Structure 1
Amino acid sequence: MELPVRGPATSEWKTRYLIETKSVSYRRPADGGGELDWACRWWWGRAGSKPILRDVSCRYLPGEITAVVGPSGAGKTTLLSILAGMVPLRRVSGEVLVNGRPMDAALFRRVSGYVPQEDSLLPQLTVEESLLYSAYLRLGGAAAADRARELLRQLGLDHVAGCRVGSGISGGERRRVSIGVELVHRPGAILLDEPTSGLDSASAVQIISLLRAMARAESKAVVVTVHQPGFRILELIDQVVILVAGEVRHRGPLELLERRLKEAGHRIPNQVNALEYAMENDLPQWALLPVEESTSEELEEEDDPRGQLVNTNGHLREVLVLGGRLAATVRRSNQLFATKIVQSLAAGLGLGSVFMRADDLQARVGFFAFSLTFLLSSTTEALPVFLRERKIVARETSRGAYRVSSYALANAAVYLPLLLAAALLYAAPVYWLVGLRRELDGFLFFALVVWLAMAAANSLLSCVAALAPSFVVGSSAAAGLLGCFFLFSGYFIAKESIPRQWIFVHYLSLFKYPFEAFLINEYGGEGGRRMCLQREGGACVVDGEMFLGREGLEGARRWTRAGVMAGFVAGYRVLAFAVLWLRCRKTV
């Protein structure tokens, strides 16, 4: 299917943006720029920093498409990130201007669109849902659905509207979805990093044709980075900026580059375009034309109402939209939904059959310990999803789509009910098969503790995911923490035998409180006093109350343990929100 190359006849927003860089230079540490860079910025500027951009001066005009080209490592992506407001301007020397005034990065991120080279899409959503949820967050109201349908037609995605982003569509179509997500709010400028990377020549030309049509019809400033464009793409480019080792070697139309090459005595082969020839021959920096002064008076219009640090939706609306999106993602993720449900039911039936006839004290206590080991360690399957979401949340919140707090609330609103369903599916068969206290309140409390244990582990995992730079580090950290919680819970090593320097882990253990709650629920109260656990000579020598006293739980209340576990759930989620909020702020 041919991609439409005509943009809409009119633009809803009148504001146009002229972007300029004047003598921009940028350095970053040799080891910086990775996932851990946000946590060690205090080292910025010390030994080991290296220049990425040197004295870059360029203009990017509304209604035109500008291509920043150059070899790998030339600084193209860094320059584009600076233009998009994704790099803190305090770390940049020189000036970055929008319509003749210093860029307000937070404001400009809201009125512009930025498409990184790596797609940041949720693979479980359909093409239409990806555009629709983005429109709900960036526009709100009834206009969102209309805008999503308009973009489906404009981007030529009608025929794959119901296909999931992660499967069933081509690379070019997925790239168009990424562009569409950044176009829903009708940005006055759009910046794209390698939009043609990994695409066949026909798809690459279609993408650039679409961007050119939008630049013309809506007077957008469009800036793209391209590694080495071919003839057909160059015909669609208005201005070319050549970067080599962070320096501008040429800026202006391709015809100007060709004329300069000929004037310098170079003979360009017929089968090679002027840009390829210039890049392959490592030409010196020519005498560049001076950057013209801003014509901001020609561009001044009414202030763009989107250019204000006010969120489109209220907190509740954001939570509802994000909750709907996350629920769809979880429901379609087999490892999170179907597998979790089947795993819980199978584990309940399996453990129930194993411990069905094991009614002695040692076996019953072992059942409680093994149950918690299973419940706490079976939540790590959500870590890859948390890590993928973190990247998307950082990008979307930096563009003003929603608040980090709204995501944290939506995450809890989706995962906690899912874990409650899993807890009931586990508790219902195992409680009655094992033959625990045959009282309804005992079963309900047992199910509550199972849910709180699973929720606490899930909350801990969300906190680890907010901190960890990768899946390997995150899974190792989660396994290490759970291992410590098991070891110092008091089950394997008595509290009195734990070294003083490690006693704090005992009180932070996610294993300790649900384990004690299980024991108190089973052996406490009036029922425990009537329960004989050990007989000698026909006389009861150990009842439930005596056993709890031996375990240091005499007079302990089960609801106190449940309250502590609820505190862990809330505490870890608040901590995860705080870390994610700081991380999103440090991203830009």
Structure 2
Amino acid sequence: MMASRVAWLVFFVLCSSRLASAQSASCPIDAKRIELTGLGEACAETRSDVCESCVCFLAEAILDAGYDFASLDLNACALENISVLLANGATIAGFLRVYACPQTRPNCLSPPTPTPTPMMGLESPPTSVSPPTPPIPTEWLRGGSNTNGSGVYLEAFGAIDPTNETVAGDSGSKAQIAFGAGLGSAIALFILCGVLYHRYRMFVAPKLRMKYAHLLNPCQYPLSLELRNCTCGNLEKLILQDINFCVRNGQLVGILGPSGCGKTTLLNAIVHGDMVTKGSVTICGEKVDVKRHRIAFVPQKNGLIHHLSVFETIYFAARLRLPWFFDDVKERTNRVIHELGLENVADAYIGATLSGGELRRTCIAAELICDPEILILDEPASGLDAHAAKNVFSTLRNLARDKEKAVVVSVHQPSRRILMNFDVVLLLGPTGRMLWNGSPHDLDDILSHIGMEPPLGVSTAEWLLDIACEKEVQFLEKVTAYEKLRSTSKTCETIVRPNLMIPVRETVNASSIITQFHLLTWRSCITAFRDRRVLISHWIIPILIGILLGALTQASDDLEGFQNRMGAVFFLLTFFALSAMTFIDIINVERPVIVQQIRSQYYHQEVYFISKLLSDWFLLRVCPTVLSVSAFYFLMGLRDSFSAFMTFLGLVLLFVFVQSSTCAVMAFSSKSTAAATLANTVVLLTTAVFAGYLINIKRLPTGSGWVAFFSPFFYAWGGCLASEMKGGPYLFNAVFGSSSVEVPVSGQTYLNVIGVEFDDVERNFIGIVLLLLGLIVIGLITLRFRVKFAQRE
């Protein structure tokens, strides 16, 4: 069984070795018209005179069919009609026997015909002077020697066609010089533009600071945030129903209610306008526009990057949210840190030893840095003990009174001490209706007048939640009747600010795209450098893999060497594809923070995506890949050519970029790291199948070959081999039974078997670049949808 497989492989390669010369010729004969009865007997392996009988039989059959035997290209005819020959009794073993025959002319062909094309190892009659062996181009040879060790005229075997190889010459040198000059000019122009832009910013910054000086010391003015008949939800479920209340600057407002009553939805309606289907939310009579008004939002979960310090977190927020021409960002940062009592932990990392209260105050400080008019917080005391919660609410109380901020807070179950810090309390019921709003100091009197006093030992806040869950309708009716009796008005007069007092547009999205890109890249690099385990593993392991793989495999110029090339390159690409999946976890760790910051208009989502990709590429991918490929390439002994090495390295780097981009798309497509990793693994394995290594591309089912053009393995693996196998000559060596077959062939011969061509290198470069650009576009679209539907998570 094994012998038959080897025989088929040998025969296929022998036939493929003649394709270079056969492709240019055509066979004018129709093999079906030739009488081939007895071919199997004439070309039998066991015949002692098989060399003469086989060729003579074919020559006579061709002449009998009326064809001019002397003018035929027998190589082309044999290849085009090989299936017909096998169907008429010929065997692979017989062909191998004929191939090994002496290169003499059979007697049956005398008198000699005009120089027939050799077939199956048979040559023209020997002359007294052997034809000289043509020189092999130096760039084919790894050792630089221009000698043919086999002493065989390789072109006579149809194995190597020098016209198919690209000879490096003056044109190549000129192209390389032109490319280097163009690249150098582009870099110099980029640096010059950067210097000019920096000088321009330095020139206009003082003028902008004078123009917008009122933003540095904003004036105090009356402020009103008002909700009128605000309804949130859809036809299937109404989360909030007809909410009416107002907030003025200097007030601390608490929103109470049982779980699921719509507290977070109400805050999102104020900040982002989420799910508002009826009514309006206005500030000083103007519709809320988060891109125009200065509203700060602190979500329930801490939106902080663990590897940044407290100072860096606040400073980062300031640089993004304040106009770029402000020159007192550090002073503002230190001032906010002092106001919130964070001096002792200013240099501590977020993920280190900070307490829950310190984390919440850091979140508040990051929002206060841009001096917002309204501060919205979603359950700031969640997960804190009583003392830490008291300190947080004391801080918020001071912000409202001393800084004249309008502070709105949702709170689940406050203590009486915290409850009395509020100026206004809004109570929501389980159905999303507003049951009551007013001063907490009036609660005891109201509950007493309506006959619903809290039981002995039960706090007022706790009793309110019990009433909201169990006596919602009864409480609402009694409170409504009591307010009518008292003629209490809960509406607030709309306060319209003079036009001159409206903050300019720079107060939100103040930073330029260049500043955003710079800061986001800086943050990504800082977090990567401080996560030493990730950094070390991404640098050390690829280098070790490159050294180990290069030392274990040798690129010899024979069949075993070709197998080593195919397997080692495929293994190296697979390793880089698998290692890129760490990018999924890196993104998912900070994804909630990113989504919240994008929704709060810290930066554009496109800027974040590009900066995150580039920081991952150049910090965790490029340098380790270059070092790993260098060790692998030279230890394995691949082509000793600078252009070949750069081609190999360029394809591998593009492949790594594609895999990193694919992981980014998967990470933003699913909020589950496990689901994203599984999806990426499925895509990786599917595209690996269509590379040409696991399954021969030529043997794919009809209609499925197009998938290969979406496979980065197809471009990178095929391109690397096409560039590498331009060297030669190579020796095809195989053992058939007790005989050893050794045939010198070109690199194209091997590549024909796996469906790769020399000319595919340029096409593969273009294909993988287009694939990379397509993935970046898909990633941007995916991130946009993730941010858009963030409120549904």
Give TM-score, length-normalised by structure 2.
0.66
Alpha carbons of structure 1 residues 555 and 344: separation in structure 2 relative to 1, 3 Å = closer
The equivalent of 1:559 in structure 2 is: 762
Return the offset for 1:559. Answer: 3.5
Shift of 1:349: 2.0
The answer to whether the aligner puts 1:477 opposite 2:679 as a matched pair is yes
Aligned residue number for residue 33 of structure 1: none
Q: Aligned to 2:691, what secondary structure does the other structure show?
A: coil
Please tell me whether residue 466 in structure 1 is matched to residue 681 in structure 2: no
Deviates more, 1:160-169 or 1:279-288: 279-288
Equivalent runs, 1:281-320 vs 2, <5 Å: 281=467, 282-283=470-471, 284-285=475-476, 286-287=479-480, 289-297=488-496, 299-300=497-498, 302-307=500-505, 311-320=509-518
Q: Against the structure 1 CA distance between its residues 290 and 135, is the aligned structure 2 distance closer, same or farther, given a 3 Å change threshold?
A: same
- The equivalent residue for 1:24 is 230
Structure 1 residue matching 2:246: 3-state secondary structure: strand
Q: CA deviation at 1:99?
A: 1.4
In structure 1, the residue matched to 2:553 is: 355
Q: Does 1:127 align with 2:310?
A: yes
Aligned equivalents of 2:758 and 2:690: distance in 1? 22
Shift of 1:366: 1.1
- 1:220 aligned onto 2:405: yes
1:453 deviation in Å? 1.4
| Aligned equivalent of 2:465 | 279
Question: Quick check: 1:56 aligned with 2:243?
Answer: yes
1:84: which partner in 2?
A: 271
Kept in 2, the 8 Å contact 1:70–1:227? The answer is: yes
What are the ranges of 5 or more consecutive residues in structure 1 without an aligned counterpart? 1-9, 29-44
Aligned partner of residue 549 in structure 1, secondary structure = helix
Aligned positions of 1:316-395 closer than 5 A: 316-334=514-532, 336-356=534-554, 360-395=561-596
For the Cα contact (< 8 Å) 1:15–1:302, is it kept in 2?
no
The number of aligned residues is: 552
Matched, 1:411 2:411: no
Deviations along 1:275-301, whole A, 9 cap, x unmatched? 32222244421215443143314x556
Q: In structure 2, what is the Cα distance between the partners aligned to 1:293 and 1:216?
A: 19
Higher-Rg member (1/2): 2
Matched, 1:117 2:300: yes
> Shift of the alpha carbon at 1:115?
0.7
Aligned-partner Cα distance in 2 for 1:214–1:309: 20
Q: Which residue of 2 aligns with 1:583?
A: 786
1:69 alignment partner in structure 2? 256
Query: What's the CA shift for 1:88?
Result: 4.8
Conserved 8 A contact 1:16-1:188: no
After TM superposition, give the deviation of residue 400 of structure 1 in Å: 2.2
Change beyond 3 A, Cα 1:494–1:206: same
Cα separation, 2, equivalents of 1:577 and 1:335: 29
C-alpha contact 1:85 1:106 (8 A) present in aligned 2: no
Alpha-carbon distance between aligned partners in 2 of 1:272 and 1:226, rounded to the nearest angstrom:
18
Aligned to 2:602: 401
Question: Which stretch of the first structure deviates more once superposed, 410-419 or 376-385?
Answer: 410-419
Task: Report the Cα distance in structure 1 between the residues aligned to 2:217 and 2:417, rounded to whole angstroms.
Answer: 27
251 and 300 in structure 1: CA distance in 2 versus 1, 3 angstrom threshold: farther
The CA deviation at 1:189 is: 0.2
Which one-letter code corresponds to 2:537 in the other structure?
A: T
Aligned residue in 2 for 1:547: 750
Query: Residue 209 of structure 1: which of 391, 394, 415 is its match?
Result: 394
Instruction: Tell me, in whole angstroms, the C-alpha distance in 2 between the residues paired with 1:304 and 1:21.
Output: 20
Is 2:466 aligned against 1:263? Answer: no
**How far off is 1:458 after superposition?**
0.1
Stretch deviating more after TM superposition (441-450 or 418-427): 441-450
Q: Which amino acid aligns with 1:514?
A: A
- Structure 1 residues 369, 186: closer, same or farther in 2, change over 3 A? same
Residue type of the partner of 1:503?
G
1:138-162 Cα deviation digits (max 9, x unpaired):
1134232222111211121111112
Residue 188 of structure 1: CA displacement? 0.2
Q: Is the 8 A contact 1:99 1:294 kept in 2?
A: no
The amino acid that maps onto 1:484 is T
The DSSP-based 3-state class of the residue aligned with 1:210 is helix
- Secondary structure at 1:554 match in 2: coil
Q: Which residue of 2 aligns with 1:574?
A: 777
Q: Secondary structure at the match of 2:585?
A: helix
Alignment of 1:93-172 (within 5 A): 93-108=278-293, 111-139=294-322, 140=324, 141-172=326-357
* Displacement of 1:486: 1.0
Partner of 2:159: none
Corresponding letter in the other structure for 1:57: N
% same residue: 26
CA contact (8 A) 1:15 1:301 kept: no
TM-score of the pair, normalised by structure 1: 0.88
The answer on whether the counterparts of 1:68 and 1:242 sit within 8 Å (CA) in structure 2 is yes
Match for residue 717 of structure 2? 515
Structure 2 CA distance for aligned equivalents of residues 468 and 272 of structure 1: 45
Name the SS of the counterpart of 2:639 in structure 1: coil
Q: Kindly tell me: are residues 175 and 293 of structure 1, through their superposed partners in 2, closer, same or farther at Cα, counting changes over 3 Å? A: closer
Q: Aligned residue for 1:177? A: 362
Instruction: Name the CA distance, whole Å, in 1 between partners of 2:594 and 2:571.
Output: 36
- Cα shift readout 1:3-30 (whole Å, capped 9, x = no counterpart): xxxxxxx9635355311112222224xx
Q: Is the 8 A contact 2:318 2:329 kept in 1?
A: yes
Contact 1:17 1:189 in 2 (8 A): no
Match in the other structure for 2:218: 12
Moved more, 379-388 or 261-270: 261-270
Q: How far off is 1:230 after superposition? A: 0.5
8 Å CA contact 2:521–2:611 kept in 1: the answer is yes
Shift of 1:208: 0.7
Aligned-pair distance for 1:450?
2.1
Instruction: Render the CA deviation track for 1:392-422: whole Å, top value 9, x for unaligned.
Output: 3332222222222221332233122121101
Distance 2:403 2:504 in 1: 16
SS at match of 1:21: strand
Task: Give SS of 1:58's match.
Answer: strand
Residue 76 (structure 1) shift: 0.9
Partner of 1:4: none
Q: What per-residue deviation string (whole Å, max 9, x for no partner) do you get for residues 227-262 of structure 1?
A: 110122122111111111111121001122211111
- How far the C-alpha of 1:557 sits from its partner, in A, is 4.1
User: 1:167-222: CA deviations, max 9, x gaps?
Assistant: 22111111111111111111100110000010111111111111111111221110
Is 2:729 the partner of 1:530? yes
Residues 1:210 and 1:11: Cα distance change in structure 2 (over 3 Å): farther
Higher RCO (CA 8 Å, separation ≥ 6 residues)? 1
* CA distance, structure 2, for counterparts of residue 582 and residue 62 of structure 1: 35
Alignment partners' CA distance in 1, 2:527 and 2:666: 20
> 1:446, 1:518 within 8 Å by CA — same for their partners in 2?
yes
Task: Give the corresponding residue for 2:184.
Answer: none
Post-superposition shift, 1:357? 8.0
The answer for unaligned runs of 5 or more in structure 2 is 1-215
AA aligned opposite 1:544: G
User: What amino acid does structure 2 have at the position aligned with 1:412?
Assistant: L
Q: Secondary structure at the match of 1:52?
A: strand
Counterpart residue number, 1:37: none
Instruction: Give yes or no for contact 1:67–1:226 (8 Å, CA) kept in 2.
Output: yes
Supply the distance in 2 between the matched residues of 1:586 and 1:19 (Cα, whole angstroms). 26
- CA shift, 1:423, in A, is 0.6
Of the structure 1 ranges 536-545 and 451-460, higher mean CA displacement relative to structure 2 is found in 536-545
